[in-house]
């Protein structure tokens, strides 16, 4: 039996990220956080294969979508990098994976999360509503996965987004 895993990885919820300078290409610590992001992707990839995955596809989902370091990424995984991507942060979820994971995610605007925003920072989108409820990128992306009948198996990021996910999927 084959198990296909899809991973969407953002940067603001990666361990150690505490400031916008760390997530932008001109930021002082950006390259260090690219490494941290790649290591978090590798942990998800390794765990997936240890759990029996036969294929793992990783979609770089932050900003330019060119943040993961291909030479450091676990070579067993396929990397989707760059843009444009018709499904954005969820590119690849339409290829019929068995499960999707959301790594490095962050809370929506107004939450306590350090870099809370929805879609390319608060200067573009202040709030995104689904059924009259302010929603996060995770909620948007979980909806996209649901459209393709792909369950979300893991959310990792800041504590606010993890708590939101627990409430969304009790």
Catalytically active residues are 117
DSSP E strands in 73-125: the ranges are 78-80, 99-105
Task: Give the SS3 label for residue 104.
Answer: strand
Return d(Cα 63, Cα 82) in angstroms, integer. 9
Closest CA to 105 of 3, 2, 1, 8: 8
Is residue 64 exposed (0-12), middle (13-18) or buried (19+ Cβ within 10 Å)? exposed
């Amino acid at each position: 039996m084959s198990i296909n895993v899809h991973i969407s990885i953002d940067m603001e919820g990666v361990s150690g990220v505490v400031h916008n300078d760390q997530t932008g290409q001109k930021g002082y610590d950006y390259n260090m956080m690219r490494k941290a992001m790649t290591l978090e992707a590798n942990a998800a990839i390794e765990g997936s294969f240890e759990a029996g995955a036969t294929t793992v596809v990783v979609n770089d989902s932050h900003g330019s979508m060119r943040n993961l370091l291909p030479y450091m990424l676990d070579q067993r995984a396929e990397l989707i990098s760059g843009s444009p991507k018709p499904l954005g942060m969820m590119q690849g979820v339409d290829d019929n994976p068995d499960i999707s994971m959301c790594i490095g995610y962050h809370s929506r605007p107004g939450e306590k999360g350090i870099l809370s925003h929805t879609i390319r920072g608060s200067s573009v989108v202040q709030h995104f509503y689904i059924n009259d409820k302010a929603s996060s990128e995770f909620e948007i992306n979980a909806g996209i996965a649901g459209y393709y009948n792909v369950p979300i198996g893991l959310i990792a990021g800041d504590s606010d987004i993890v708590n939101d996910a627990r409430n969304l999927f009790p």
